[in-house]
Amino acid sequence: MTTNTENISKAESASEMENILLKENERLDELQRNGYRIIQNPEKFCFGMDAVLLSGFAKAKSGSKVLDLGTGTGIIPILMEAKTEAEHLTGLEIQEESADMARRSVALNELTQKIDIVQGDIKEAGQIFGGASFDVVTCNPPYMIGQHGIANPDAPKAIARHEILCTLEDVVSQAAKVLKPGGNFYMVHRPFRLAEIMVMLVKYKLEPKRMQLVYPFVDKEPNMVLIEANRGGKSRMTVEKPLIVYKEPGVYTDEIYEVYGY
């Protein structure tokens, strides 16, 4: 039987752990899955809806090994651990500060046996992990081409949003290297680059198999696209029904609430 004193002691221990793990300007955000939380620094970069939607779109079978390229603070591996039956997940992140936050979030959620965070360059993923090492690869890459309008190209937000440290081709080519034959690649991107994305996937023998466009409102243009590609797959793609984010300003659709776990 657990006493009130023991409960208080456990709560105090958890609070002490949080205080140790958090650094200046960092905060803890609830993820609405398995009680998991994530450490973020709003002055640097916080995950967005695109990462959450990708974690819901991606699939990982029981026993599979998953790699998230450019994992940031580890949001996709943590959510996929909660949503799938993957055996092990790895996040690759080039920025030391983000990788450090990701590791601490993994520790906070007691997932160190299931999730590894590796600091390294996407462009060297094949060298870091070896060829054909993963069943599933995910990526929420930088969307914007070039450095137009960037005040500080070394800033975490700029690196996350613009192709400063890696390009679309870097992401696709490295995903193809580390995927096992028949493995699946999942990516979220912007529709304005869809033609380029398809050409790049086919170039590296990642056959597009499934696509879903995401619309902010039913009467607006899509602002995200979710894509699944298969290494060495045959040519045939399914276009899923559109995913609408808001049914009215400030109110998510049921599908979005389901993805978020509310």
Q: What's the confidence (pLDDT) of residue 151?
A: 45
Asked if residue 8 belongs to a domain, the reply is: no
Q: What's the confidence (pLDDT) of residue 61?
A: 96
Q: What's the confidence (pLDDT) of residue 21?
A: 76
Asked if residue 3 belongs to a domain, the reply is: no
Asked if residue 110 belongs to a domain, the reply is: yes
Boundaries of domain holding 50? 45-260
| 89 touches 68 (CB < 8 A) | yes
Asked if residue 24 belongs to a domain, the reply is: no
Q: What's the confidence (pLDDT) of residue 142?
A: 76
Q: In sequence order, which residues have a C-beta less than 8 Å from that of residue 185 and are 6 or more positions away?
A: 136, 137, 138, 139, 172, 175, 176, 179, 201, 206, 228, 229, 230, 231
Q: What's the confidence (pLDDT) of residue 8?
A: 42
Asked if residue 121 belongs to a domain, the reply is: yes
Q: What pairs with residue 186 in β-bridges?
A: 138, 228
Provide the CATH number for the domain around residue 211. 3.40.50.150
Q: In sequence order, which residues have a C-beta less than 8 Å from that of residue 121 and are 6 or more positions away?
A: 94, 165, 166
Asked if residue 215 belongs to a domain, the reply is: yes
pTM, rounded to two decimals: 0.88
How many domains would you assign to the chain?
A: 1
Asked if residue 83 belongs to a domain, the reply is: yes
Q: What's the confidence (pLDDT) of residue 166?
A: 80
Q: What's the confidence (pLDDT) of residue 99?
A: 95
Which residues in the chain come in under a pLDDT of 70?
A: 1-20, 143-165, 262
Asked if residue 197 belongs to a domain, the reply is: yes
